Chains A and B, each alone.
Chain A
Amino acid sequence: MIGSPDVVAFTKEDDFGDSFSDPCSLPEEFSVPLFAHAANANPWTKTSFAKFSRDFILISEFSEQASFVGHPPGSNYPKLNFVEDSKVVLGDSKEGAFAYVHHLTLYDLEARGFVRPFCMAYISADERKIMHQFQELSSGFSKASEFLKLGNRKAFANELEKKLKDLEYTRSVLHKETELQKMNNGCYSTQAIEKANELANVEKSIYEHKDLLRQITSYPSRKRKDVDFVQHETETPGDTSVIDDTLNINHSDKTVETESESRKSSYTPQLIKGKSAKCFDKRLKTMEELCNASFFHQTLEQLNIIEKSFRGDLCLIYTSQIDRALLSKQSVTSFLFEAERDSEYGGTSKDFSISSNNPTVPILNLSGEPLSLESYTTCIDVDHVKPGVESMEGRPESSTSDITQETSEAADTETKGSFSSDKSIEAFGGFSPSSLQANYFDGLERKSKVSIASASENASGSVAVPQRTSDGNLVPMDAACCIGQDGFIFEEPLVELAQECCGDTVVNQEPLSLLHGDPALQMDYILEESALAESPNMGLTFSELNTEEVAKITIEDVSDSTSFMSASTSSDRAASPFTYGSASTLKKKKKAGHSALRFIRQYPFAQQAIFCLLSGRTLVILGVDEGTVRKLVNALFIFVPNLGKYGETVQPWLSSPFQLTDLQRWKLIGLQRAASPAGSSILHSLNRYSRYISILDCDNKTLRCPPYKGTLVSHLADHRTQIKRGSTYFLHVQGMLTQLIAKAFLYTFCHHIHLPMDINDQGSVTSRRTNFLLQLGYTVEESKIVQYLSELIKQHYIQGSSKGANQSFCFNYTTSYLYKI
């Protein structure tokens, strides 16, 4: 299959890689060769001669000859086998292509033996990626396959019911005709016998189909898990009903009966001709028809997720996996400044529905552009069309903050547009999403039919079939042709040479994978592994982007940061340095790093403002001009602890007076200064609650807040900082904050400072706490930061991530001073 010319043609180099020109790239004459072997820019790449530059996912159908599952063709009695999917690794050294291939069968009444074998393959030039990520790939594809099969069983059952109707109708017609023949010509006339035979055939067929229906509906109900994730995946109410039907089919025949009852009215049976309906000239069903449409789309989403989580270099995948594993260990504190990730399916949609139902939930638009709520939808559209890097800011790609009903819908439709393979994306350009899949899969089907022969021919050459044994290890089935996990050594002198050349300058040791790396890590996270395997898309809410945008993100990432420079020249152009977490948030945060840097340089009291945010005192940014206020909010939001998944703790623009409860909810508020009556009541509320807030007046460039003098925040916000780039600064901030969190963690979970020695010991606890913080080297003011973070950690730990309605609001009575530029 790999060697098939069709497939290769499918990956020829007219793709996205050439379609965009890097606007940031230097003109030819100024370019400096980064690497001796320009053709092999990625020093870790072990294969250089693959004819495709990016990994892709291929869905293909086998011919019936190649079918190795389902019932043996030609056998009389249709027997459905519910075959487990098989997973293999294929390699073609000539092409430099390696593939994880996931075989599955779908049922089709019109297919021979009722089965149509399919395979989904993840094809990469990097053999090690396939081998080392086998388990992750396998679980990802299993999920996709499960969606397909679930939908297929439902569709198949529907089809069978229709067919049964037809047959029954045919039988009744034939019965009448037979009676008529008997009446007219006598019992033994040829016509009568013919009709009787025909009738018998139909009867037999009815029997067979009934049996098939029974088999498909009595499909052993799957492990709860499968059903669960399907349910979670659904987003629209329409889907739910579909799933309900499926579940019913899975669990009880009775429901099917009633279902068919209800369907009787809608479906008019047709007469089936006596001859067999198995005609090869008949159009085969597309994949979307084979499976239920909604399941089909879920599969596509799943494939999207797979593509995103495995794109890029293996070391990136390793890094992100280690990252994720480490982060999951830090759930106690990671909510403070890390982008929150979906730890479970449906988390997003669940939370989202809550937020959309609640009109008071603030909508965070951290772009510098003023947006009113009413015009929000349209603004998105405008942003969407607007070319250039700037347009990225306002895009609704964010899974964190800018989600509204409208945006999510917009995002929904977008997702359909981008399919994993860059080829397909290229092909889709300019089409409406709905037409895309149909085209794509029609094309696939056509191609697969052609490529079948070659696939089966090549099969013996380079196929290894590792199979999962009960203990979960990979065991090579065929020693002669296997690509064992460690056994297969790919000869590649060219690359080795390259590595030698650059050995001095480039780190040629790639990071070790989670599984094969540091034994300590392995020990620690061996348990996490199963969790990871179960949800490979955990946290991979990488927003859906079309080609152009993917490219731009990459440019932005690269241009903004020297550390990822090499990635831009590598063949894996779309590899983003951040493949975990909500990348859009990170991107936004990096963008905000730039604004923050500017803020720090511009305002000498930046330290005080940041101190307020870190110590949990609500900072109100007051100004006439919405854009200015939003810009400041955008510069400062990275310092807000426990920002929330959707930035709930930030209100970038408010034009009505705030209430006490708002102070509890929002830690950073952009407030309109207006001359209207509303404006004066805003000022009244500012005045009234002045002890709980700090006010940054961006018109007069003043800050009213408690005093702060110390080294901690001055390290964080040094206006003479040498850091030039926003993202570098962001990383610096992240580093500093991580240190702070570590201290807060230590402070929170140190027994001896919190537990009273005896019952009447509250006073000594207080002094022990204070002393502990002083010993950590914090001033009284800085202690407030640690204490605030510690309170957040405690509340988060006690209540879980769910934010109780009855949060307490802590404050302290300190004098504020007015700072001026």
Chain B
Amino acid sequence: MLRWILGGREAQGTVEKSAALFIGEEQPKNCFTEMQVLKGHFDIVRFLVQIDDLRFASAGDDGLVLIWNVETGDCLFALRCHTQQITAMTSYTFIRGGNAHTALLTASSDRTLSLWDPDSGNRVQNISDLQSSVKVQHVLQLHVFLFQCADGLDCVWKQVCSSFSVCRWILCVCSLMEVSVFQCLLVLVRLDVWLSGGNELCVWNRDFELQCKTVHHSDAGISAMVELPKNFIAAAMDKEIVIFKLNLSGSDIAVMAMRHLADHQDTIHSLIHINDGLFASGSHIGELIIWDSVDWTIQSYEHILWEEPARDSQSEFRLNPQKQIERSIQHMSSDGEYIVAAVGSGLYVYNVLTKSVVAYRRIAHDSNVLHTVLQQDGRLMSCSEDGSVRMWELQDLPLPAEPASSGFFGMFGTFGRSSKQTGPPAKKIPEVPGLRSLELIGDLIGHSGAVQMFLSFKEKGLVTCSTDHLLIIWKDGELQSQLRSLAVFQKLEENQEL
């Protein structure tokens, strides 16, 4: 399209390839007509966590945790403590003194876990809390521990002691030395405990006291966890899903592995909670398994192959047949009924109730999709290594525009391994009656590197974070303009210039 600029000698391949899904510049359904670029990180930004309606935290490889205001784009705080990249971050809401506090939990490659208070207003109180109400021996433990832990963490201790100056966090606790990096965090609000997963599973209470932990597992460690009913936890560990049980007897908590589910052929990349009865896991080779949360049986098994379909030359996909198509399930999200899975550079929407595929797009992005979210209004968003965020809409197919051949999906049908769920095999033909198309309705181009993740604040905007060290808040320009008008009139009123 810009070949006249590129002078004809430029690689046309990339242009051609992106043209496959080029939506054009006219995007009437794309309301994001305003952007705000947030600078602050010095390395890849990987995580975004919403704190409340107004604030979110970002973290990444530079070990920094930054707290932002989504409306103004101001950086509220920079939380510095981690010396290495942050591997997991989650928010942690708890009740203290009758008020709900939201704290941030972060885990880092420096083998530390931190709990941060994103409200600076509370820090004095929190610090005094630390010294009064929190058990003294705990602080002493922390003290001793911090001196054991050499790499630069004694400064953290100093911050705790010298209280008010820099720190905006309550506590910073290092796990035991032999523990490896925590790769995932899970907060069990119901039990008021939280779990950290790495080479072993640790259970902590609100005051950062280690309640119990499992024995050392494999080298791979726990990569993801979901909460299951009846105090069970499902944890993904390489090719297996391990079910743990938390035994609560009085104030003591014990954790033990109950079952190993080894149905996946390859490493599990994604493990999500669908609804009270189901959870799903996705593997490196495109296996998508829906599990029953209670008895841990397979409800549905899909193997997404993304095979090159036999098509006519009009096909919009023109790739080298030799090329191995990436079909790793990187990320999934669900609204309880639908699952959207990021499979390689494609998207796959699956209905867990009817156990049927709803829509798919084999090449939704030019490169691997890293994060995807299903929205309420039948729309979904995905972001990719190609640096773009794309918005999709599920539309009913007017006619079979994409005549998918039978070989398109490696459909093993739906079957249960357990005796209960020997559902009808019913080899589904891909031309499912309900098959809809996934239409691109807009894309957001701004980042110059892979978009790692995005976070939607509904009408307030959409935050994206990227390998290019930037965050971008995308906003509805019309709405922002109206808000600015209101602000103008408000200021006029304040200044009595009306």
Residues of chain A touching chain B, judged by Cβ–Cβ distance below 8 Å, are 622, 659-661, 664, 680, 683, 686-691, 695, 697, 700, 702, 704, 748-749, 751, 754-756, 762, 765-766, 787, 790-791, 794-795, 797-798, 806-816, 818
Q: Are B25 and A806 in contact (CB under 8 A)?
A: no
Q: Are B34 and A813 in contact (CB under 8 A)?
A: no
Q: Are B4 and A700 in contact (CB under 8 A)?
A: yes
| Additional A-B contact list (5), CB under 8 Å, known A660-B37, A683-B6, A806-B72 | A660-B446, A691-B25, A695-B5, A755-B489, A811-B33
Nearest-neighbour CB distance to chain B for A788, whole angstroms, equals 10
Which A residues lie within 8 Å of B52 (CB)?
A: none
Chain A residue, CB-CB nearest to B15: A687
Nearest-neighbour CB distance to chain A for B460, whole angstroms, equals 13
Q: Are A809 and B36 in contact (CB under 8 A)?
A: yes
Q: Are B25 and A814 in contact (CB under 8 A)?
A: yes
Cα separation A755 to B33 with both chains bound (whole Å): 21
Q: Are A687 and B488 in contact (CB under 8 A)?
A: no
Q: Quick one: which of A680, A695, A797 contacts B10, CB cutoff 8 A?
A: A680
Q: Are A795 and B489 in contact (CB under 8 A)?
A: no
Given contacts A809-B35, A816-B25, contact A794 B10 (CB under 8 A): no
Interface residues of B in 10-57 (CB under 8 A from A): 10, 15, 24-28, 30, 33-39
Q: Are A765 and B482 in contact (CB under 8 A)?
A: yes
Task: Confirm or deny: B410 has a beta carbon within 8 angstroms of a beta carbon on chain A.
Answer: no
Cα separation A660 to B72 with both chains bound (whole Å): 19
Which B residues lie within 8 Å of A683 (CB)?
A: 2, 5-7, 10
Q: Are B5 and A808 in contact (CB under 8 A)?
A: no
Q: Are B480 and A815 in contact (CB under 8 A)?
A: no
Q: Are B4 and A818 in contact (CB under 8 A)?
A: yes
Nearest-neighbour CB distance to chain B for A657, whole angstroms, equals 9
Cα separation A771 to B4 with both chains bound (whole Å): 39
Given contacts A690-B2, A700-B4, contact A813 B445 (CB under 8 A): no
Q: Contact flags (1/0) for B453-471 with A, using CB distance below 8 Å?
A: 0000000000000000010
Q: Are A787 and B10 in contact (CB under 8 A)?
A: no
Q: Are A754 and B482 in contact (CB under 8 A)?
A: yes
Cα separation A211 to B210 with both chains bound (whole Å): 78
Interface residues of B in 51-73 (CB under 8 A from A): 72-73
Q: Are A755 and B486 in contact (CB under 8 A)?
A: yes
Task: Confirm or deny: B407 has a beta carbon within 8 angstroms of a beta carbon on chain A.
Answer: no
Which A residues lie within 8 Å of B15 (CB)?
A: 687
Provide a sorted-by-A list of 28 A–B residue pairs whose CB atoms are within 8 angstroms: A659-B448, A660-B37, A660-B448, A680-B10, A683-B6, A690-B25, A691-B25, A691-B445, A748-B488, A755-B485, A755-B486, A762-B479, A762-B482, A791-B481, A791-B484, A794-B487, A798-B491, A806-B38, A806-B72, A806-B74, A808-B73, A808-B475, A808-B480, A810-B34, A812-B477, A813-B30, A815-B25, A816-B25
Cα separation A704 to B485 with both chains bound (whole Å): 32
Question: Which of A659, A660, A661 has the most B CB atoms < 10 Å from its CB?
Answer: A660
Q: Are A754 and B442 in contact (CB under 8 A)?
A: no
Count B-side interface residues using an 8 Å CB cutoff.
Answer: 47
Q: Are B5 and A794 in contact (CB under 8 A)?
A: no
Which A residues lie within 8 Å of B36 (CB)?
A: 806-809
Q: Are A812 and B487 in contact (CB under 8 A)?
A: no
Which B residues lie within 8 Å of A704 (CB)?
A: 2, 4-5
Which B residues lie within 8 Å of A797 (CB)?
A: 488, 491
- Report whether over half of chain B's contact residues are helix, strand or loop; otherwise say mixed: mixed
Q: Quick one: which of B4, B25, B488 contacts A798, CB cutoff 8 A?
A: B488
Number of A-B contacts (CB under 8 A): 113
Question: Which of A687, A700, A748, A807 has the most B CB atoms < 10 Å from its CB?
Answer: A687
Chain B residue, CB-CB nearest to A806: B73
Which B residues lie within 8 Å of A680 (CB)?
A: 10
Which A residues lie within 8 Å of B485 (CB)?
A: 748, 754-755, 794
Nearest-neighbour CB distance to chain B for A773, whole angstroms, equals 12
Task: Confirm or deny: B219 has a beta carbon within 8 angstroms of a beta carbon on chain A.
Answer: no
Which B residues lie within 8 Å of A700 (CB)?
A: 4
Nearest-neighbour CB distance to chain A for B289, whole angstroms, equals 38
Task: Confirm or deny: B431 has a beta carbon within 8 angstroms of a beta carbon on chain A.
Answer: no
Chain B residue, CB-CB nearest to A811: B33
Which B residues lie within 8 Å of A751 (CB)?
A: 489
Nearest-neighbour CB distance to chain A for B393, whole angstroms, equals 16
Q: Are A808 and B34 in contact (CB under 8 A)?
A: yes
Which B residues lie within 8 Å of A660 (CB)?
A: 37, 446-448, 470, 472
Cα separation A807 to B73 with both chains bound (whole Å): 9
Which A residues lie within 8 Å of B38 (CB)?
A: 806
Question: Which of B10, B484, B486 has the most A CB atoms < 10 Å from its CB?
Answer: B484
Q: Are A702 and B4 in contact (CB under 8 A)?
A: yes
Which B residues lie within 8 Å of A818 (CB)?
A: 4
Q: Are A812 and B33 in contact (CB under 8 A)?
A: yes
Which A residues lie within 8 Å of B7 (CB)?
A: 683
Which A residues lie within 8 Å of B10 (CB)?
A: 680, 683
Task: Confirm or deny: B129 has a beta carbon within 8 angstroms of a beta carbon on chain A.
Answer: no
Nearest-neighbour CB distance to chain B for A682, whole angstroms, equals 10
Chain A residue, CB-CB nearest to B488: A794
Task: Confirm or deny: B478 has a beta carbon within 8 angstroms of a beta carbon on chain A.
Answer: yes
Which A residues lie within 8 Å of B442 (CB)?
A: 813
Cα separation A765 to B25 with both chains bound (whole Å): 26
Which B residues lie within 8 Å of A695 (CB)?
A: 5
Cα separation A790 to B477 with both chains bound (whole Å): 13
Given contacts A748-B488, A794-B488, A797-B488, contact A688 B35 (CB under 8 A): no
Which A residues lie within 8 Å of B478 (CB)?
A: 766
Nearest-neighbour CB distance to chain A for B484, whole angstroms, equals 4
Closest 10 CB pairs of A and B: A754-B485, A813-B27, A806-B73, A794-B484, A687-B2, A815-B25, A810-B34, A815-B26, A808-B36, A794-B488
Q: Are B5 and A813 in contact (CB under 8 A)?
A: no
Which B residues lie within 8 Å of A795 (CB)?
A: 484
Cα separation A628 to B10 with both chains bound (whole Å): 25
Q: Are A664 and B484 in contact (CB under 8 A)?
A: no
Nearest-neighbour CB distance to chain A for B196, whole angstroms, equals 35
Given contacts A680-B10, A690-B2, A754-B486, contact A811 B34 (CB under 8 A): yes
Q: Are B25 and A688 in contact (CB under 8 A)?
A: no
Which B residues lie within 8 Å of A798 (CB)?
A: 484, 487-488, 491
Nearest-neighbour CB distance to chain B for A426, whole angstroms, equals 51
Chain A residue, CB-CB nearest to B472: A660
Chain B residue, CB-CB nearest to A687: B2
Question: Which of A798, A809, A811 has the most B CB atoms < 10 Å from its CB?
Answer: A809
Q: Are A814 and B26 in contact (CB under 8 A)?
A: yes
Nearest-neighbour CB distance to chain B for A531, whole angstroms, equals 17
Q: Quick one: which of A664, A689, A762, A790 contacts B37, CB cutoff 8 A?
A: A664
Nearest-neighbour CB distance to chain B for A71, whole angstroms, equals 51
